[in-house]
Chain A
Amino acid sequence: MTFNMFDKSNFKKISNQLWEISKDFRSDMRVPARIYASEKMLEGILEDRSVDQLINVATLPGILKYALAMPDIHEGYGFPIGGVAAMDVKRGVISPGGVGYDINCGVRLLASSFLHSELVPHLVDLANQISRDVPSGVGRGGRLILKEKEVDEILEGGSVKVVAQGYGEKNDLEKTEEGGCLKGADASLVSARAKGRGRDQLGTLGSGNHFLEIQRVEKIFLPEVAKIFGMRENQITVMIHTGSRGLGHQVATDYVRLMDAKLPSWKIELPDRELASAPLDSEEGQRYFKAMAAAANFAWANRQMITELVRRAWEKVLSHKISGKYNLDLVYDVAHNIAKFEEHEIDGEKVKVCLHRKGATRAFGPGREELPEIYRETGQPVLIPGSMGTASYVMVGTDVAMAESFGSTCHGAGRRMSRAESRRRVSGQTLKKELEAQGIIVRCASLSGLTEEAPLAYKDIDEVVEVVHRAGLAKKVARLVPLAVIKGE
């Protein structure tokens, strides 16, 4: 399907990796729209409505500099996936559509002390144990049922709360974006309905593109940086990709509904109802931020709980089979669906903005005080998961990202094919066989869920990463390849 609204002639080429649509392309645009992509990728991007959606973002009140898109951009609703927008805190808006329904969907990476050669005989047992011990939580909920007061504590305390209860180590908090607890969260602004959905979902993976992977560090690009990140060639790592589950989905649903009804009173006109926004200085805008922060904290607590379940499974399997250290040290945890207040330099001045990242990862460069001391000289680790069965990357944030993209970069491969099309092209059984032929262990409850996430349904992760690497928005540190994929459904 091709939409003829745009072609390459509508773009000004800024560099081989950067394209701009000027502000006068559409009368309601307040700033230009910029896309990071190679020329070849740009042609693919023009095939769906993602550019149209990016232009819609450029119309939002108070947007600063540019509406930005990363090379993994694809069509969403409201904002495109892979979008970044900074809003003026006085004149601007906050938009649940700029965060997404899966608030604080994100990724964390754990580094083991073992090399691939040491764990080869135990990988099947590890994959089996982890898939038994980490519930998907879809259809049946998780194993832990929280009381309402406990849900509130998680919403306001995030990872800090679950670590205090014994699910992890203090060191984990330092290596989690925002220390695993976004300030300003207010549990009283999260509906009873949302809390009801979250009660049995802590420590659950979910479905769709969420996964858990055992990986091997295939290649190191920046040895000095990798060393500081605690990584080395042929090391075994574990990657966890999930978010705030039904609780976060409900928070977004509640506030989109609330804002949609209030738009006329704020005299905000939008080209898409899913861009529903509230002025940042309105009560509703403030309430959404505090509720979103609470849902973000639930997501961090969720990934922290899963980390602990994986660590226990790891030790259970390996302690009988191999001597050594059974630790899985957190390299870092990043959010890729979130809005935050951050300070950025605009026209030579430091300005506080409300930064929306929807399918985009923070990529702070060296020196930022938000980073843990250990990563302050290098810049932060940036985790880019590939699609199922393909490589993932660890990158490092840069000064270029600070100057050009509000300290942001891509978040993954980015979908390019519908789930239905993916199912038509490859059967679950064939795909499982193909993955297994590559030596990848697959533990997935549903073969149809497997085909929907088939590698052919996604853009090439190597190409996406190459664009941001060349543009300087993040630099490649390590390439990871999957050994075992664990998916709930």
Chain B
Amino acid sequence: MKKYEILEHTTDLKIRAFGKTKEELFLNMLNGMFFGAGAKTENQEFTPRKIKIKSADEQSLLVDFLSEVLAQSDINNEAYLEVKFEKLAKTELEAKIFGVPVKSFGIEIKAVTYHGLEIKKNSGGWEATVLFDI
């Protein structure tokens, strides 16, 4: 199963991610985000960081999750390619994200937007599309 794909967009970074479960969907979108950002990481041990998010609705939870990780990435100069969800409900989540130091980013992602945001469940699993401002 494909994890994510980068879609065409004139100005910004548009990613469609897939997952058999919602946890996998969130993880794959996260991987897509750091791939899209062109993160060059250093080969060092992971630093775990706890995050806890409560959102207004199901769609916002994905945006808020990615925004939280993006902020952590900017503050700690890390990329997060692994997540361990302790709770992933419809509008809430608790998780450990695992950071590795970043040497550089090819692109600076400014923000995760609601523009054209889609999350859907079909027979094959979950699918979401997110537009990142770069």
Contacts and interface: CB of A to CB of B under 8 A. Distances in A.
Interface of A: 1, 48, 74-78, 81, 100-102, 136, 138-141, 193, 196-197, 199, 206-208, 246, 249-250, 252-253, 256-257, 260-261, 272-274, 276, 415-421, 445-446, 448-449, 452, 489
Contacts of B107: 207-208, 419, 449, 452, 489
A141 B71 CA distance: 13
Contact of B114 (A74, A273, A445): A273
Given A81-B11, A417-B10, A197 B110 contact: no
Most B Cβ at <10 Å: residue of A206, A249, A420: A249
> Chain B at the A interface: mostly helix, strand, loop or mixed?
loop
Contacts of B13: 419
A140 B8 contact: no
B102 interface: yes
Contact of B10 (A75, A136, A196, A445): A75
Contacts of A139: 39-40, 77, 102-105
A274 B102 CA distance: 30
19 contacts: A76-B11, A78-B115, A101-B111, A101-B133, A138-B104, A139-B104, A139-B105, A140-B103, A197-B71, A207-B108, A208-B108, A208-B134, A250-B74, A253-B67, A253-B111, A257-B60, A261-B56, A273-B117, A415-B11
A252 B111 contact: yes
Contact of A257 (B64, B74, B108, B117): B64
Given A77-B113, A257-B60, A449 B133 contact: no
B11 A446 contact: no
A142 B122 CA distance: 45
A272 B117 CA distance: 10
Nearest to B40: A139
B106 to A, nearest CB: 5
Contacts of B38: 446, 448-449
Contacts of A415: 10-11
A206 B108 contact: yes
A418 B10 contact: yes
B115 A449 contact: no
A81 B134 CA distance: 13
B10 A77 contact: no
B8 A421 contact: yes
Interface in B38-72: 38-40, 56, 60, 64, 67, 71
A141 B64 CA distance: 23
B10 A416 contact: yes
Contact of B6 (A207, A274, A420): A420
B112 interface: yes
Contacts of A276: 114
The 9 closest A-B pairs by CB, nearest first: A77-B115, A273-B114, A139-B104, A246-B74, A101-B110, A101-B111, A249-B110, A207-B108, A274-B115
Contacts of A141: 77
A257 B77 CA distance: 24
Most B Cβ at <10 Å: residue of A77, A141, A208: A77
A250 B9 CA distance: 23
Contacts of B67: 253, 257
